[in-house]
Amino acid sequence: MEVSKVLLTKLLLLVTVLFNFFSGVRGDFENSWTMYMEQPCCSSTGPHHVRHHRDHVRGFSCGMMYYRTFHLDVKRDVLYVGAMDRVYRLNLSNINQSSCERDALNLEPTNVASCVSKGKTEHFDCRNHIRVIQSMGDGSRLYICGTNAHNPKDWVINSNLTHLPRNTFVPGIGMGIAKCPYDPADNSTAVWVEKGNPGDLAGLYSGTNAEFTKADTVIFRTDLHNLTTGRKEYSFKRTLKYD
């Protein structure tokens, strides 16, 4: 009985500590990201985009950029953040070293005029909200997909946020329909799978809307290509339309 009381007391104490800990962790995904916990730093001042809410909490913000996609690379100690028209690369060893300009890649939308003509807002709907960030292979490359002014588009870039050389061809990349949503406000999910697919070929699995009208909600797997030859070995798979 005494042992049970001691264990119960410790459990209640742990719950209280965790509640107090996380009650100070808040995220405003439109304006800033304040959910990264780190050790107290020696300085209380820093660049304009780092704000100290408490000694052990820091926030990253480069303005109202709608930070809604996160991908952690433990091996490189990096957090990638998908925002409006940009991908950020945050240094988790010291988030204070991250720069809004140096540690970002701009991915501007195409054909904004067409998006606006369909009744969408120019400065939100018709931007390129990055909704998928996934490491590929050994992590030296990233798969990126964005709303691209309600015309989803995908890219493959280097993990240091530079574009691949112009002569580098990645099959199956360019059209992001069914890989990420049209609408930046829509929920979606995606994961890059390296092993276990037919032919053991890498591919993306996603759950999203595959039409502008949102009439086609889909679970989707991309075409599977041999990345060495560029040849498509297996066609895409999807759930039945309107299922």
- Separation CA 26–CA 54 (nearest Å): 12
pLDDT in tens, 6-33: 444 444 444 443 333 333 333 344 554 4
Of 55-59, 100-104, 151-155, the least confident = 55-59
Sheet of 130-136, strands arranged across: 130-136, 141-146, 153-158
pLDDT in tens, 203-234: 999 999 999 999 999 999 999 999 889 999 99
Best CA proximity match to 183, nearest among 208, 161, 202: 208
Q: What is the pLDDT of residue 218?
A: 96
Considering only residues 153 and 16, tell me which one the structure prediction assigns the higher pLDDT.
153
Helix (H), strand (E) at residue 81: strand 78-82
- Enter the tokens of residue 194: 């390296």
Helix (H), strand (E) at residue 17: helix 2-23
Q: What is the pLDDT of residue 55?
A: 58
Q: What is the pLDDT of residue 30?
A: 52
Considering only residues 33 and 132, tell me which one the structure prediction assigns the higher pLDDT.
132
Q: How far apart are the first and last CA of the chain?
A: 55
Q: What is the pLDDT of residue 93?
A: 82
Tell me how crowded residue 193 is: count the other CB atoms within 10 A of its CB. Answer: 15
Answer for the pair 130, 164: CB distance below 8 angstroms, yes or no: no
- Separation CA 164–CA 141 (nearest Å): 9
pLDDT in tens, 175-192: 999 999 999 999 999 999
pLDDT in tens, 76-88: 999 999 999 999 9
- Separation CA 130–CA 146 (nearest Å): 4
Percent of the chain at pLDDT above 90? Answer: 67
Q: What is the mean pLDDT of the chain?
A: 83
- Separation CA 38–CA 179 (nearest Å): 34
